[in-house]
Structure 1
């Protein structure tokens, strides 16, 4: 599905103190309850032990399946914990959502990988170019990279439940 105009695009602008992952999950849940066909992936922070305080999972919004986003690197490692295989899987799931006619695609964030030109950057553009509204989150520190990527297109939303839900309902006419 290709349209002449790009689809609506929004990014929730957040700081490290904002629980943006929970906010996006709450909004997705509310939209799902309204019968919206969602696609994309959202992050769950599950770190609960001293050995793995930063463990993360992604949830495929199309089917609810969850899988690890972080990889075990051993004690004392300071390398990036992001599992590249999980990121590739997320990219495939987003592409499937686009091809499957999702009414809204959510991508957990435009973060360090996307700011560097990799990660899920291409899939964000793919969804919008296909005419499917897309919601993501961007940290204040990556706003310049987001602006360069988006060309100033789209909306910047506050990390507030009602504002995000209202935007989603408006662009999907749900």
Structure 2
């Protein structure tokens, strides 16, 4: 789409239809982009974690964030910190891969804080909250310290 009109979905909500690369950076209209996860999909927690892990392992953390964000927005209130934290970690990894170390450190810290309060929800779904918090701390410290970043994606589950 070109011009001043905003991309809209069938319900009239603003949706950016520009293609994106593997790290979620917008590409010009008409360029081939990475397949995107459809927004607003309600998945089971098991399916969410499986899809997000596959995307992380494929070097597509921005797209993993979109899957995790769906769970954050559609899941039960008592799981909000879990899904928000996981989505923020994926965005932090996205920023790190893009070379935005300040953004990476900020989002990794936010994700770790959210996961730190996920408690029972993390346990219920087998999420390695302690391991992920430690991973986020290591990557965030490297980003702030200017040392080379290990962009190996974390394992979400124990």
Name the TM-score, length of structure 1 as normaliser. 0.28
1 or 2, which has the higher helix percentage?
2
1 or 2, which has the higher strand percentage?
1
Name the TM-score, length of structure 2 as normaliser. 0.30
